[in-house]
């Protein structure tokens, strides 16, 4: 009698590159689906990027350990060197990985816009390592015997404003903070009333604003603005722009503004049906054909949808279209102060100022922490 052997079909290999907001959301969408899922990141933790200003100013821990979140998925600790879409291979500094399906969620890097000396002399705020470097140098400045020192922060978007206000809450009269912005306004995505409130807060904390002034050169101890002003700087920090990482290669790869990867309406990578992109790397469009902002909330939404559509592809089901949803925008202004808005029913917005705005922002961070740990 012939015995029949049970050959179990091997599961497809699914790689998630990056453990940021998008990668973690994708992981939660896949980890209970009995698939062969591997999360790849150079760090064994997830960084709450929206709280990096707290780490930079107060040395607070803004990370979450990845191990309890895996629930059957594998974690491969490695820095990614390159991604070959045509060969379906990911080269890391710890070895070569192959995949059948891929979710790209590698985030972004700082865009220095080829400003002379900026990359060489400015600190960034993209990681816990960056935050630690700022905190250490700031602490040294506070204990310095020099009578007057200056910090120059380039870029008055959300990161620049939050960092400026948080550092200002720790400064003494011996440290002066300058905030330089090429545009005419700080926090350009906020409505004028909220921007004005934030600007008054910055000025009340002693932060000097340089609006409508591009930073055109950086040196070891100074920066130069386009109007010719030279600002001595004991520490220069650049928060003025991001661009998608350049690690991904492919003969049919399409890129757009900010080096972001062109995706279709389901977040699939054009010309590569086994690859999905989420977060800062994805050049996703809203209903008006405009690029979706590179924010944490949109990255989380995209990661979840990328996981859903990858599973739909595996099962031969229809994928869902990406419909970005902006729930609000909240900005910390140091301590227990903040500013922002929340989306309300029927297209209305609830403006938030002061302590209430800070409480809502902290609540959003707590909610993300709970969701990141898979408790929601």
First and final C-alpha spacing in the chain: 53
Chain center to CA of 285: 18
Whether 130 and 212 share a structural domain: yes
Whether 334 and 322 share a structural domain: no
pLDDT of residue 9: 61
Whether 139 and 185 share a structural domain: yes
The reply to whether 4 falls in a domain is: no
The reply to whether 5 falls in a domain is: no
pLDDT of residue 44: 97
- Could you tell me the two tokens for 229? 């002003």
Per the listing, tokens 């209305």 go with 348
The reply to whether 2 falls in a domain is: no
Whether 306 and 338 share a structural domain: no
Whether 256 and 299 share a structural domain: yes
Q: How far, in Å, CA of 213 to CA of 183, rounded? A: 7
Strand order in the sheet with 175-181: 208-211, 175-181, 149-154, 235-238
Q: How far, in Å, CA of 146 to CA of 152, rounded? A: 17
Whether 232 and 123 share a structural domain: yes
Select from 175, 208, 240 the last residue of a domain: 240
- Domain containing 77 — which CATH number? 3.50.50.100
For 359, the enclosing helix (H) or strand (E) is: helix 354-372
Select from 240, 260, 284 the last residue of a domain: 240
Whether 219 and 195 share a structural domain: yes
Instruction: Give the helix ranges, DSSP H, for 171-267.
Output: 192-204
The reply to whether 7 falls in a domain is: no
What are the pLDDT digits (tens) for 236-280? 999 998 999 889 999 999 999 999 999 999 999 999 999 999 999
Query: 136 — phi, psi (to 5°)?
Result: -65, -45
- Number of compact structural domains in the chain: 3
Contact in structure between 267 and 284 (CB atoms under 8 Å): yes
Residues 6+ apart with CB under 8 A from 86: 249, 250, 251, 252
The reply to whether 191 falls in a domain is: yes
The reply to whether 178 falls in a domain is: yes
Whether 186 and 205 share a structural domain: yes
- Domain containing 148 — which CATH number? 3.50.50.60
pLDDT of residue 2: 37
Select from 218, 240, 262 the last residue of a domain: 240
Question: Quick one: which of 281, 267, 298, 229 has its CA closest to 109?
Answer: 281
Whether 294 and 309 share a structural domain: yes
Whether 152 and 75 share a structural domain: no
- What's the domain range around 50? 13-110+243-326
pLDDT of residue 3: 36
Whether 291 and 252 share a structural domain: yes
pLDDT of residue 173: 78
Question: Quick one: which of 8, 28, 9 has its CA closest to 19?
Answer: 28
Spell out, as residue ranges, where the chain has pLDDT lower than 50.
1-8
The reply to whether 143 falls in a domain is: yes
Whether 260 and 368 share a structural domain: no
The reply to whether 8 falls in a domain is: no
What are the pLDDT digits (tens) for 57-87? 999 999 999 999 998 899 999 999 999 999 9
């Amino acid at each position: 009698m012939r015995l029949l052997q049970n050959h179990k079909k091997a599961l497809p290999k699914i790689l998630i590159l990056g453990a940021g907001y998008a990668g973690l959301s994708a992981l939660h969408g896949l980890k209970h689906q009995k698939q062969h899922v591997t999360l790849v990141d150079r760090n064994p933790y997830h960084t709450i990027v929206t709280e990096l200003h707290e780490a930079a100013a107060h040395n607070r821990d803004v990370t979450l350990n990845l191990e309890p979140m895996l629930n059957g998925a594998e974690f491969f600790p490695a820095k990614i060197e390159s991604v070959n879409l045509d060969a379906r291979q990911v080269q890391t500094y710890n070895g070569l990985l192959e995949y059948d399906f891929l979710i790209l969620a590698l985030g972004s890097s700082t865009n220095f816009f080829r400003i002379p000396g900026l990359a060489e002399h400015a600190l960034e705020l993209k990681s816990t390592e960056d935050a630690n470097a700022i905190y250490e140098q700031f602490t040294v400045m506070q204990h310095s015997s020099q009578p007057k020192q200056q910090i120059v922060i380039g870029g008055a978007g959300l990161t620049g404003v939050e960092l400026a206000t948080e550092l200002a809450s720790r400064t003494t009269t011996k440290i002066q903070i300058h905030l330089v912005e090429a545009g005419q306004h700080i926090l350009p995505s906020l409505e004028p009333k909220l921007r004005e409130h934030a600007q008054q807060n910055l000025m009340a904390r002693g932060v000097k604003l340089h609006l409508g002034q591009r930073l055109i050169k950086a040196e070891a101890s100074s920066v130069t603005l386009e109007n010719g002003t030279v600002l001595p700087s004991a520490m220069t920090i650049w928060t003025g722009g991001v661009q998608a990482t350049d690690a991904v290669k492919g003969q049919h790869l399409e890129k757009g503004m900010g080096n972001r990867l062109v995706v279709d309406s389901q977040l699939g990578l054009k010309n590569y049906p086994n690859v999905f992109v989420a977060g800062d790397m994805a050049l996703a469009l809203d209903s008006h054909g405009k690029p979706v902002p590179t924010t944490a909330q949109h990255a989380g939404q995209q990661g979840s949808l990328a996981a859903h559509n990858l599973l739909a592809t595996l099962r031969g089901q229809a994928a869902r279209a990406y419909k970005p949803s902006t729930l609000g925008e909240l900005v910390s202004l140091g301590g227990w102060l903040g500013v922002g808005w929340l989306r309300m029913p029927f297209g209305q917005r609830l403006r938030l100022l002061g302590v209430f705005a800070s409480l809502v922002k902290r609540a959003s961070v707590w909610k993300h922490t709970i969701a990141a740990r898979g408790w929601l």
